[in-house]
Structure 1
């Protein structure tokens, strides 16, 4: 019997400057994977929170004091000799000027310029390889942070919905879900509203997912599917992953476990606050949301009373972004 691989917990910082560039560090000689590029950070010591560990590591490694740290996604990666649990955080403010205190090279890069090779390994703009564990967060960074969910309700309101949606798309919205649980018209009018929503999103370069409550025959038309929790459990049993992007609506540990097994691109978790759509149902609150989000293993959208003025709180509690039926998601003049 071989000895089990050591399990190491690491805090890793995706450090962004005001131009949106991402800081990479090159592993020096004498360490494992010398010459490979990585996100700065290091091991979480006993008794430390993720944020405390990251602040300490960035000061030791880069000579900066992080002042704005957002917990993001916890991802487990198995290397040949170890299993590493990486608690990725986004860092957007700090005191001091980053410099390699361990004689490591540093480089600011546009994350959109980092590509994946044929083996899905990330390659920096200069041609250097990033550690394999960097691939998932680089993909997650391409996921929009605001998720609009339709709430039309009646065929007569479709025109107004499309006008509002157009303004949001022009304002930068990039991800939409078509979800109409209480449609007051017939199936033809519902399908027409879906197709009009999909066409408008594509015209503006946004993705439109369809909720799994709608006919499965419609799913291939969309850019992906948002599975209700019960539908996700059924799909898992059938072993038939829907085409395109996959989101899963979650409320508890069991739902999140199913989303992980389905390898969903993201989850929607809630509801965080009391809402009209969940009368009489107890909200999670931010503490419980943060606890659950840390186990998702992928980006999490907070839902339930979310709008632009809750976005900061959502990020501080581990959300990638916010999802909303009614709340304002785009700045208006």
Structure 2
């Protein structure tokens, strides 16, 4: 009978300063993986919530009092001798100055300067090796927190859409989904609108994903594919995972399990609040959203009634960010 590996629950903090730098700590001698770099944090004790455990660990380990903690992704990583369930949180405010209370070295690094090598291991500036469990969250950090879904509807609205999109790209939008289920024009006009959207996104170094309702032949023209829940099941059955970035729409636990089996980069979960798109379907609410998001194992965007005003609320409930058809993604923006 094979040995059963110990299962350890850990709260890990991705601590960001005002310049967007990420704090790393080096594991000291006497611990497993000495000399490797990691995100600060530690084991969750019985009776503690993730946030309580992280606040305590950061006090003990760094001498700081975290005052703004966003639950983010719960991720399971299997090491040679243990299985670690990592509850990643993003920490953006604290009291005190981080100090290595366990004689560990600390370093503030630009997360964009951390590369993933051929063996799928993260390598920091100067060749520093990060623990293998850091690979996934470092990739997820490349995802913006705002996700715009197109709603052009017909050829006469293409110019209006492109003008609105340009304005959002100028304000920092970096993730767009082309999704036109109610297109009123000819297929050739729809394809032209899609190509114009992709071209505009690339002018601003933004990614444009195409929804799976559109022809498969167009998928390679985008930066990735966003699968509807029903299409995700079909892709999984056919073992046809699309290249590039992969998003999946989810409405329940079964959809999230499908996204996990596809190893999707992120999911869009909803609808969270009342929305004109689904007037007869009860929303998840923020409590329901948080419960499902905690089981996703990857970043989750909140969908349904979302706008710039709900971004912080979504993050407080475990969301990576927000996705929207209509709502303004930036403050003081006209829908």
- Give the shorter-chain TM-score range: over 0.9
| Match of residue 242 from structure 2 | 242
Question: How far apart are 1:120 and its partner, in Å?
Answer: 1.5
Superposed CA deviations along residues 17-61 of structure 1, whole A, max 9, x for unmatched, are 111111111111111111111000000111111001000100111
Distance 1:242 1:134 in 2: 24
Query: What TM-score do the two structures reach when normalised by structure 2?
Result: 0.98
Distance 2:44 2:30 in 1: 21
Q: Which moved more, 1:169-178 or 1:120-129?
A: 120-129
| Match of residue 175 from structure 2 | 175
| Match of residue 327 from structure 1 | 327
Question: How far apart are 1:193 and its partner, in Å?
Answer: 1.1
Please say if residues 27 and 33 of structure 2, whose CA atoms lie closer than 8 Å, have aligned partners that are also in contact: yes
Unaligned runs of 5+ residues in structure 1 are none
Runs of 4 or more consecutive aligned structure 1 residues displaced over 3 Å after TM superposition: none
Superposed CA deviations along residues 178-236 of structure 1, whole A, max 9, x for unmatched, are 11111111211111111111111112211111111111111111111110000001111
Distance 1:100 1:195 in 2: 51
| Match of residue 144 from structure 1 | 144
Please say if residues 212 and 227 of structure 1, whose CA atoms lie closer than 8 Å, have aligned partners that are also in contact: yes
| Match of residue 264 from structure 2 | 264
Please say if residues 16 and 23 of structure 1, whose CA atoms lie closer than 8 Å, have aligned partners that are also in contact: yes
| Match of residue 58 from structure 2 | 58
| Match of residue 155 from structure 2 | 155
| Match of residue 293 from structure 1 | 293
Please say if residues 171 and 331 of structure 1, whose CA atoms lie closer than 8 Å, have aligned partners that are also in contact: no
Distance 2:84 2:316 in 1: 23
SS in 2 for 1:25: strand
| Match of residue 91 from structure 1 | 91
* 1:190 is aligned to 2:190: yes
Backbone CA RMSD of aligned residues: 1.0
Please say if residues 178 and 209 of structure 1, whose CA atoms lie closer than 8 Å, have aligned partners that are also in contact: yes
Please say if residues 309 and 331 of structure 2, whose CA atoms lie closer than 8 Å, have aligned partners that are also in contact: no
